[in-house]
Amino acid sequence: MSHNFPYIVLVLLPMVAAPLVYLVGRATLNRGQLWGMTFARLFTIVVFLLEGVALYFSTMAAVAGESVSIQVGSEYMIFDGVGLLVSAVAVVLAFFVAIFSTQYMEDEDGEEKFYALLLICVGSIIGLAGSLDLFNLWVWFEVMAVSTYFLVAFYHDESASLEAGVKYLVQSTIGSTLVLFGIALVFSQTGSVAMADIYRSLSNPLPLVGLGGLLMLVGFGVKAAFVPLHTWLPDAHSQAPSGISAMLSGIVIEAGLVAMLRMISILGHANIPWGLILLVFGCLNIFLGNLMALRQTQVKRLLAYSSLAHVGYMLLGFGFSMTFMIMEGAQGAFFHMMTHAMMKGLAFLAAGALLYAFFLSQGKHSPLTLDDLNGASRKYPVTAFAFSVAVLALGGLPPMAGFMSKWQILLSGAGTQNTVMIIIVVFAALNSVLSLGYYAPMVNRIYRREPSEAVQNGSPITWQMALPMVLMVLIIVAVGVYPKTVEFLTSNAAYSLMAIFAG
């Protein structure tokens, strides 16, 4: 293909940059020199900027009707609407995390490893988003899982962090094994792992293909934190560095969801009620996520459980579309995928900034509790405002982005005029109100309580942490007020998914 340089950059640059960042950072540290870590920090940010430029050209090409595809070795990849949206979310969020982490991770043992693994994580998500066969999808999925394992267990000297990493690794391995078994069953029936070949083979129903699809759904569901396959999630989010918590919640679990959607889209004619299954999981996620979040006293664990509920809203959107063959539900779900990445990413970064100011900067590894938030606005007004915007947007308050994406999902369900679907819509709307029962009290603590001891003794928060938070606040408000700014991404993604699923 001609003029495909931006597409090659999109896939290869993070994977090539990762070992360079690690080797330069490690080699200079071993010699007692610090310039290598400065290089690692700045080069990682530059890589994500270049990725953003490549994504811009790729998206413009897709909008113009050009096929955004490349061939890397023996693998042929294509970035449709789904792939471009997922890649954009991963790159934008990682860019903010990289800036934030220049201060948050400064002087941490293994800082160069952190940036290298962050690059590998993003590169693997982009590779996953563009894969055209199930085996390569699984390989990219595994690369993502391994990189995130090391990031979750980054503070491996802390027993809780190591335990969270091991729990994540064990459950992720079980999920990956189920996916591989599912791929093997599909291959045994169709003779191919190429998605296009499998799709064509299912013009006539084949035995065991449905079972293979269900195994893959459960396997990918572990990574996407489907209830009850979610038990790794609260520990991983609470023990990982805050930038990685933002990535886990903002894009890693969504990448698992997208991998599952890729599988479902080609097995749409396998006599499995995929839409109904997603609706059931969606309701479970929303209810249990909110219920467990209400019981938490640690901020990062609370935010982790709330991610379950937000995955549930995405599942409802996809479930509505796949049950009634409509575009609106999938478009709303992809919209919520984007807004959730910004909202939850901001919440974790703001919580991380407070965690750094209260504890990490003083050499302590303590959890951030709800009591620690008391009076934070007195000393940290920018961070307090950013955190408040994030959690209120997550709760669905207008005019912020979370309200618009939830509204679009619920409107698609109500538009089916089906009694059961309308009951589900009411259930989801009530749960959105219920979520304010744990979001709003945090804002109340920040602004209306006397400063806690942690606030009084806290260190300053630097501009490196404040800058990405301010930018994310602007995005959340702007997308809420002008949701059509991202409609070209969400509508293309919904069309790409449903055109294959509906046949």
The verdict on 154 and 281 lying in the same domain is no
Using CA atoms, how far residue 146 sits from 30, 75, 142, 420, in Å, is 26, 21, 6, 40
CA pair distance 73, 467, nearest whole angstrom? 39
Q: What share of the chain is helix, strand, coil (3-state, %, to 5)?
A: 80, 0, 20
Structure tokens at 83: 């792939």
The verdict on 107 and 256 lying in the same domain is yes
Interval 122-135: pLDDT, tens: 999 999 998 888 99
Residue ending a domain, choose from 224, 249, 268: 268
The verdict on 256 and 296 lying in the same domain is no
Interval 377-390: pLDDT, tens: 999 999 999 999 99
CA pair distance 302, 390, nearest whole angstrom? 14
Is 372 in contact with 356 (CB distance < 8 Å)?
no
CB atoms within 10 A of CB 174: 14
CA pair distance 435, 306, nearest whole angstrom? 8
Return the pLDDT at 206: 72
Residue ending a domain, choose from 241, 268, 295: 268
pTM: 0.95
The verdict on 262 and 284 lying in the same domain is no
- Structural domain count of the chain: 2
Cis status of the peptide bond prior to 399, with omega within 30 of 0: yes
Q: Which residues contact 54 (CB under 8 A, 6 or more apart)?
A: 6, 7, 9, 10, 13
Return the pLDDT at 6: 63
The verdict on 176 and 116 lying in the same domain is yes
Query: Counting every residue, how long is the chain?
Result: 503
Using CA atoms, how far residue 4 sits from 1, 65, 236, in Å, is 6, 14, 38
One-letter amino acid of 37: M
CA dihedral sign, ordered 6, 11, 14, 16: negative
pLDDT averaged over consecutive 10-residue blocks of the chain (503 residues)? Answer: 61 92 80 76 95 88 76 72 93 97 87 94 93 90 93 86 90 94 92 86 78 93 91 90 93 94 84 92 97 95 96 97 94 97 97 94 88 95 97 93 95 95 97 95 95 92 95 96 92 90 69
The verdict on 195 and 278 lying in the same domain is no
The verdict on 249 and 279 lying in the same domain is no
Interval 187-207: pLDDT, tens: 998 888 888 888 888 777 677
Alpha helices in 325-400 (DSSP H): 328-358, 376-379, 381-394
The verdict on 257 and 278 lying in the same domain is no
Distance between alpha carbon 37 and the CA centroid of its chain, in Å? 27
The verdict on 303 and 404 lying in the same domain is yes
The verdict on 261 and 295 lying in the same domain is no
CB atoms within 10 A of CB 193: 18
Return the pLDDT at 25: 83
Regarding beta strands 69-72 and 75-78, do their DSSP bridges make them parallel or antiparallel, or are they unpaired? antiparallel
Cis status of the peptide bond prior to 228, with omega within 30 of 0: yes
Q: Which residue has the tokens 């084949």?
A: 206
The verdict on 354 and 454 lying in the same domain is yes
The domain of 169 spans: 1-268
The verdict on 96 and 127 lying in the same domain is yes
Residue ending a domain, choose from 203, 235, 268: 268
